[in-house]
Structure 1
Amino acid sequence: MLNEEVQDSMKELLKEYDVKKLNMGDILKGTVIDVNDKEASVNINYAFDGLISKEEISLDGKDPREVLSKDDEIDVYVISPNDGEGYVELSLVRALQIKEKEDIEEFYKNQKNITVKIKEETKGGVIAYYGNIRIFIPGSLAGRQRVELNTLVGKELEIRITELDLRNNKIVGSRRVIEEEEYNKNKKIIWESLKEGEKKTGIVKKLVKFGAFVDIGGVEGLIHISDLSWERVNKPEDVVKEGDNVEVFIGNVDRKNQKLSLILKDVTKEPWTIHSNDIKEGEIFEGKVARLTNFGAFVELFDGIEGLVHITEITNENIAKASDVLELGQKVKVKVLNYNKEDKRISLSIKDAIESSKEYLNYIDSDEDEAGTSLGDLLKGFKFE
């Protein structure tokens, strides 16, 4: 009898205020009047206030006071226009879910980024939430590079929705697509900014037989083995290792094909530039045998500068190959026969250096001369019968 009287009173009050009738499922704007550990009361600009139970405030059982505060303005969902006790039964959770689904649909349609919170690691990926909406992020889409999934739990992550099926509650998100876009954008900017001869800091990423690949901040370039050092290099690992921080010079930039050559050796210390005036035809140098070939031997005069001793200029004797009388690393005296500074070519002779030494011997005693040079010094390292 009492409930009937309350309902009759409510009907009369509604008639008196001529208020629009509420329907289940309506979304209303409201202001929190009061909140305690069990529920929250809300002013919805209606003849009667609304009431939200703890279960309809949060799905994870939080204390309502952790979610709502007095005077908060919120959207609420009408569960029942009349709970039988003079209140409108409302839900914050359901209103949020509707709004969140609308957001998700808009984000997916317009391919906008959204921020989610990672709740847990699961088989093949992680579970994230946008409010109360569950989103699955596969491990392969958690980042552009491999990510330890357990390190993401509890963190917020900006993602893009890549699959959406609300009817079957299937929503898939990707962090990787965002990072790929950022990487490509930065990569384009870097390619446009590259200037030949400019110095950059990079990290050695990979070693191959013909050189080393170095990342200079989003773009990888190749240091050819010949550009690792001014000295001859047999294999890249003799100079650098993967993970090394290096300073390199920009070589050739092919923006069209996105190919970049880098130089590790200091271009400001190019040996031919430094020693070009130190080499003169007719002078005798002490060098080191750097390479042996069928047609002669290459002798290094300075680091990075080699000259050719043709097989006919090694000795007056008939030899089949340079290795018959010379060894790699052997120190020998050589005479400069021809020096082409522009083409960086030097012709050398060992036998002429020996002849010059013999001629020199005719003018000096066997003791060291005033300059301190002896015949033994001139013939240092040379093999002869």
Structure 2
Amino acid sequence: MTEDMNNIEVKSFSEGDRVKGTVTKIEEKQVLVDLEGSKLDGIIPISELSSLHVEKASDVVHEGEVLDLIVTKVEEELLVLSKRKVDAENAWETLEKRFQNNEVFDAEVNEIVKGGLVVDLGVRGFVPASMVEDHFVEDFSDYQGKTLSFKIVELDKEKNRLILSHRIVIEEEKNREKQAILEKLESGQVIEGTIQRLTDFGAFVDIGGVDGLVHISQLSHEHIEKPSDVVKEGEKVQVKVLSVDRDNERISLSIKETLPGPWSNIAEKAPRGTILEGTVKRLVSFGAFVEVFPGVEGLVHISQISHKHIGTPHEVLQEGQTVKVKVLDVNEADQRLSLSMKELEDQNDQVKDYELPEESKGFQLSDMIGDKLKGFK
């Protein structure tokens, strides 16, 4: 084609025209194409290949590939073209639908930049660091090439602004899981959980995407000063569901109710006749309550405290005192334990009945101590 004919054909194109071109040559900074239905050549500068930064044109296109292009500049004998703008125009239409429909979609992370991630969706999508995860991430280098789920949180075609969030997808998924768990939970269920964090008033336990509270009073059968006395963060525990408030998303749990009670097998641990050491916990008018195992108190009735007559237990006992007791009766079903201190006094203070020597038999007591009696006359 002559130069004049080239000029004539070039002038038949205008900026913004859509054309198709076949890649004929890939150079360092540009790509050459044959235009469909024309003898003209076109060039695509490397900057017009993609919305992302491109190091090598061959990373984006290959020879023989047919591309949809837009004319960006009409020169004397060729056209300057853009693949990026076609991709962007096509993309905006799709992206606007996704934004309106609040759609979740997957995309690959193409670049790690200061402040976040870049995703190529035909236009450059930016994921701020705060919108990547629902927790702090110090180093994003592992995210290069990773496919994540996103939602569009801001879209402005005029300003070429597209903001994406992966965090919102995670949070919504967790919330759905939470609601599903809340619906299934029923009082009385026993399930496994993980201690998430400890507070002064109890422990929060993750039971599969939702946290429940084990109040300090529900951590152990024994009295404890602080939750860390019996549990630690990260520990797996069995919990019983006490109550579920779905409206306020509050779950009350108990570890204590999954553990053997202090009275379990008490008849085996303290059968009748067993001698135990315990601590006087409470004094009442009719006796003393003595703790013989953690959480197990038995009653020493006032009549079983001493052989001596006493008006009140306070006369001989005080709270906190350590005493030895004998089990008189045990009733596991009613959680009752009857104890005696008096019966141990019998054993300790019993006067032994010794036999007199053979040769002393037949003597009167006065004969044995007669001389000593004379001194008192």
Please, what TM-score do these two structures have when normalized by structure 1?
0.71
Q: Helix, strand or coil for the counterpart of 2:114?
A: strand
Separation in 1, partners of 2:231, 2:237: 12
1:69 CA drift (Å): 0.8
- Of 244, 256, 276, the residue aligned with 1:254 is 244
- Of 234, 237, 246, the residue aligned with 2:228 is 237
Which position in structure 2 is the counterpart of 1:77?
70
Greater CA drift, 312-321 or 27-36: 312-321
Specify whether residues 61 and 120 from structure 1 end up closer, same or farther in structure 2 by C-alpha distance, changes over 3 A only. closer
Specify whether residues 314 and 334 from structure 1 end up closer, same or farther in structure 2 by C-alpha distance, changes over 3 A only. same
Specify whether residues 164 and 6 from structure 1 end up closer, same or farther in structure 2 by C-alpha distance, changes over 3 A only. closer
Separation in 2, partners of 1:207, 1:329: 33
Specify whether residues 227 and 334 from structure 1 end up closer, same or farther in structure 2 by C-alpha distance, changes over 3 A only. farther
Which position in structure 2 is the counterpart of 1:370?
none
Q: Helix, strand or coil for the counterpart of 1:168?
A: coil
1:303 CA drift (Å): 4.5
Structure 1 residues 132-170: Cα deviation after superposition (integer angstroms, max 9, x where no partner): 744454554333233336567746443322222332344
Which position in structure 1 is the counterpart of 2:359?
none
Separation in 2, partners of 1:112, 1:290: 68
* AA partner of residue 63 (structure 2): K
Structure-to-structure mapping, 1:367-382, within 5 angstroms: none
Separation in 1, partners of 2:19, 2:240: 63
* AA partner of residue 6 (structure 2): V
Identity %: 28
Separation in 1, partners of 2:42, 2:346: 113
Which position in structure 1 is the counterpart of 2:366?
none
Count of residues in Structure 1 that have an aligned counterpart in Structure 2: 342
Which position in structure 1 is the counterpart of 2:131?
141
Which position in structure 1 is the counterpart of 2:4?
4
Is 2:58 the partner of 1:68? no
Structure 1 residues 69-100: Cα deviation after superposition (integer angstroms, max 9, x where no partner): 123343311224x5432x44321122222233
* AA partner of residue 7 (structure 1): N
1:230 CA drift (Å): 4.1
Separation in 1, partners of 2:302, 2:19: 99
Specify whether residues 84 and 329 from structure 1 end up closer, same or farther in structure 2 by C-alpha distance, changes over 3 A only. farther
Maintained 8 Å contact 2:288/2:313? no
Separation in 1, partners of 2:211, 2:326: 43
Q: Helix, strand or coil for the counterpart of 1:167?
A: coil
Larger radius of gyration: 2
Structure 2: 5+ residue runs without aligned partners? 355-377
Separation in 2, partners of 1:3, 1:65: 31
Structure-to-structure mapping, 1:177-326, within 5 angstroms: 177-192=168-183, 194=185, 196=188, 198-209=190-201, 211-241=202-232, 243-254=233-244, 256=246, 257-263=249-255, 267=259, 269-276=260-267, 283-289=273-279, 291-292=281-282, 297-309=288-300, 314=305, 316-318=309-311, 321=314, 325-326=317-318
Maintained 8 Å contact 2:219/2:254? no
Structure-to-structure mapping, 1:8-27, within 5 angstroms: 8=8, 10=9, 23-27=14-18
Maintained 8 Å contact 2:17/2:71? yes
* AA partner of residue 286 (structure 1): L
Which position in structure 2 is the counterpart of 1:46?
37
* AA partner of residue 43 (structure 2): L
1:206 CA drift (Å): 1.9
1:362 CA drift (Å): 6.7
Which position in structure 1 is the counterpart of 2:335?
344
Q: Helix, strand or coil for the counterpart of 2:209?
A: coil
Separation in 1, partners of 2:19, 2:345: 109
Separation in 1, partners of 2:140, 2:19: 40
- Of 330, 352, 356, the residue aligned with 2:322 is 330
Separation in 1, partners of 2:166, 2:64: 37
1:194 CA drift (Å): 4.9
Specify whether residues 169 and 35 from structure 1 end up closer, same or farther in structure 2 by C-alpha distance, changes over 3 A only. closer
Separation in 1, partners of 2:178, 2:124: 34
Separation in 2, partners of 1:258, 1:133: 43
1:286 CA drift (Å): 0.7
Maintained 8 Å contact 1:121/1:149? no
* AA partner of residue 79 (structure 1): T
Structure 1 residues 337-357: Cα deviation after superposition (integer angstroms, max 9, x where no partner): 6x554342335443x444554
Separation in 2, partners of 1:177, 1:34: 44
Maintained 8 Å contact 2:300/2:338? yes
Q: Helix, strand or coil for the counterpart of 1:107?
A: helix
Specify whether residues 277 and 335 from structure 1 end up closer, same or farther in structure 2 by C-alpha distance, changes over 3 A only. closer
Specify whether residues 293 and 127 from structure 1 end up closer, same or farther in structure 2 by C-alpha distance, changes over 3 A only. farther
